[in-house]
Amino acid sequence: MLFGNHKQKLTEKKMPQISLKIFTLEQYKKLKSTAMKKLTQLLFFSAVVLLLSNCSKSGSSDPEDENPTPTPPITTNEVDFWLTKGDQTVLLTKQSTILGFTTTANAYPNIDVDNSQSFQTVDGFGYTLTGGSAQVINSLNATKKQELLQDLFSANGIGISYIRISIGASDLNATSFTYDDMPIGQTDTDLSEFNLAPDLTGVIALIKEILIINPNIKIVATPWSAPVWMKDNNNFIGGSLQTQYYDVYAQYFVKYLQAMQAQDINITAITPQNEPLNPNNNPSMYMTAAEQGNFIKNHLGPSLVTAGLSTKIIIYDHNCDQPAYPISILNDAAANNFIDGSAFHLYGGDISAMSTVYNAHPTKNLYFTEQYTSSTGSFGGDLKWHLKNVIIGSMRNWSKNALEWNLANDGSYNPHTTGGCADCKGAITVITSENYTKNVGYYIVAHASKFVPAGSTRIASNISGNLQNVAFRTPAGKIVLIVENDGASQTFNIKYNSKWVTTTLDAGAVGTYIW
């Protein structure tokens, strides 16, 4: 206001009129002094007016701000990064590192993600809910049990979307049984004694709780053995299905699927036999490719159709060292007509065998249904191997799912049958009714299941050095990249749409990146 008032006075007040006359020396000095004051006043207020004018143009009263230094752009976080380290110092933790896409060149290796190339859709990730797993999870008190189930199966947890269960007992039950066991020497060809009773309070009760959390979860069901009265050795271990019982055994599957439907449980798929080339487990049953093909095309397939059941038939369900087994069955057009795809484990062979089968029959689906972690294994070693082979490897070789073996057991790796797996480490160890711990299997699956929901599509990405990886596009349009560093600590770029993000993974670490 001071400058404004003075400016107004200066413009409104007239300069004094000076007429020509003779002045005394004293008058001259007085007039000179007055004139100098007026001139100084004029110069001062002229400078003020000029300064105010410049300030209004520049938005600043500081002349040095007329050409300010540009403010650097703020880096925004465009990529979420979840990390697990092999030394367990970081476990499935979202990182605070700000990752923004850039075009500034560097010399680091690239993982190129290409959304324009699409491959198989994903059905899900998860575990086998063995009878033993259900037993120990059901032993938790109500609060801890619900906490665990929410963590495992809800969208706010790790979002398991696919489970495997046994038809009858697996080797991770306390005892061997089927749903139609008879006294030695007796048979039940009309299956009148069929009953789900051995699992009603265990696996079946737990599945019902899981379905409340995730009603869309997919379930593949697999027998470890037919009822022993159907087998040629009348024993839970080994032996083969007698051809005279092929029709009866097909009806056994129909009865099972219908009984599960009556429990409001829909089975997505079945396999005719777990590990058909392994007759040594308890329970187990040997089944050649020719026998399985015959059983499917002449008995199981037609029986499901007649019963109006849409449950998928998935063949083989064994190791990657025998791709000729599923290929030979798929080569039979009559059997092929009933088959959705083939399932694999990786206790033998190489994961690339899945692509071998895909290349032979590209219209048929592929599944990865089992791999265990051992009580003697190390966290870091298992994390690396399973991410590289089970999660990344199976997906890069056309699998629609990736399942680890047992979901849970107790601190002594129980329960299991006599002769069953005594060193299988569950993803969860239930210690007491109020306490459980998470093992390496939990983190192996979680790095995929939490971020890649059912319905996602695998997209293209290149393997760069030791940076094993696989990429997906989710139904919501997010891009997910899972990277396992199989070598030394590495800084690298994730390149997408001609821009890239630079990040680092320690040796043996796993990162999931989402944008």
Active site residues: 275, 370
Give the three-state DSSP class for 227: coil
Residue pointed to by tokens 């400058």: 3
Q: Residue 151: enclosing H or E segment and its boundaries?
A: helix 142-153
Q: Could you list the beta-strand ranges (E) of 57-189.
A: 80-84, 93-94, 110-121, 124-128, 162-167
**Residue 300 and residue 288: Cα distance in Å, rounded?**
16
* 369 close to 317: Cβ distance less than 8 angstroms: yes
Tell me the CB-side half-sphere exposure of residue 362, using CA atoms within 13 A. 3
Give the three-state DSSP class for 189: coil
Q: SS3 letters for 269-320?
A: EECCCCCCCCCCCCCCCECCHHHHHHHHHHHHHHHHHHCCCCCEEEEEEEEE
**Residue 427 and residue 404: Cα distance in Å, rounded?**
8
Q: Within 10 Å of residue 162's Cβ, how many Cβ atoms? A: 25
* 374 close to 409: Cβ distance less than 8 angstroms: no
DSSP strand pairing (162-167 vs 218-223): parallel
User: Helices marked H in 473-513 — which ranges?
Assistant: none
**Residue 484 and residue 10: Cα distance in Å, rounded?**
78
* 399 close to 367: Cβ distance less than 8 angstroms: yes
| Largest Cα span, the chain | 153
* 223 close to 167: Cβ distance less than 8 angstroms: yes
